[in-house]
Amino acid sequence: MPEDCAITTAPVPPLLHARNLRFAAGGETLIDINDLTLGASGPTMILGPNGAGKSLLLRLLHGLIQPTAGQIDTATSRQAMVFQRPVLLRRTVAANIHYALRAARQPRDRAAALLTQAGLNAKARQPARSLSGGEQQRLAIVRALATAPDVLFLDEPTSSLDPAATLAIEALISAADAAGTKVVMVTHDPAQARRLGAEVVFLHHGRVQEHTSADRFFDTPQSPAARAYLAGGLIL
Ligand SMILES: Nc1ncnc2c1ncn2[C@@H]1O[C@H](COP(=O)(O)OP(=O)(O)OP(=O)(O)O)[C@@H](O)[C@H]1O
Ligand SMILES: [Mg+2]
């Protein structure tokens, strides 16, 4: 093949790369991760028992807390995070979206599409804090998407929602993934992780026990802790 026809693929830097990452508090090491690389392809689901360090890891990756040691390299500065209990502005639904668009210097006319995506057109003028839990969560997600993030962190976005509200949130997450946003999400629901995830990071005692494709994780979990977790057993 002539040289000018050769297809060269430049190495794509990982979106997120944690190296020798440690977070300690109260004399305990709560996060201890030697190497965790998250690429751009498909949503990453973070699973693990209560207290495993999932929320801490998400906060570290998003830069909300500083590690005790180690570092996180990110290939992007456009990141957004949605918390389990979203904090909405004491304004209308529409104003919450307008605020996010303004802060991220995004065109104001994206608001209509975001309201539609959240299924909140009819409630645009309602105070955001008067929405139901599921509606608030949908608003929080589209408000995060308003900032056009390359990476979207979600901490248990459906943990207090009914099945219909959960599916509505999952549709938003899938749409964000299809639009090219890297989703990194904590969930306690293995079935949800299977529906949404391309890969799984399984945390236990602040350490990554497994980092593998979702199929492989659910079909053949390698670590005893993951097997016990998936079997619904008590993990110590
Ligand atoms: N600032 C802190 N100081 C001391 N301990 C902390 C701090 N933040 C978190 N922890 C502890 O770190 C551990 C991991 O907390 P984290 O919130 O990340 O767990 P999690 O995996 O998200 O659990 P859950 O599933 O219950 O949400 C917990 O034992 C928690 O008490
Ligand atoms: Mg948590």
Instruction: Give me the sheet containing 28-38, strands edge to edge.
Output: 28-38, 16-25, 69-74
Write down the pTM of the prediction.
0.92
Q: How many angstroms separate the alpha carbon of residue 10 from the centre of ligand 2? A: 37
Contact 67, 21 (CB under 8 A): yes
pLDDT-derived band at 2, boundaries 50, 70, 90: very low
Whether 68 maps to a domain, the answer reads yes
Cα distances from 164 to residues 124, 160, 168, in angstroms, run 21, 12, 6
Whether 67 maps to a domain, the answer reads yes
Query: Once rounded to an integer, what is the mean pLDDT over residues 76-105?
Result: 94
What's the number of domains the chain is made of? 1
Residue 185, SS3?
strand
Whether 197 maps to a domain, the answer reads yes
Query: Once rounded to an integer, what is the mean pLDDT over residues 148-170?
Result: 92
Whether 116 maps to a domain, the answer reads no
pLDDT-derived band at 85, boundaries 50, 70, 90: confident
Residue nearest to ligand 1 atom 6, measured at CA: 25
Other C-beta atoms lying within 10 Å of the C-beta of residue 146:
23
Ligand sitting nearest the alpha carbon of 207: 1
Q: Ligand 1 — pocket residues by CB below 6 A? A: 25-26, 30, 48, 50-56
Q: State the Cα torsion 155-23-36-104 to the nearest 10°.
A: 50
Residue 76 sits in a domain of what CATH number? Answer: 3.40.50.300
Predicted local distance difference test score (pLDDT) of residue 145: 94
* Enclosing domain of residue 64: 3-85+149-230
Whether 127 maps to a domain, the answer reads no
Mean predicted lDDT score pLDDT of the chain: 92
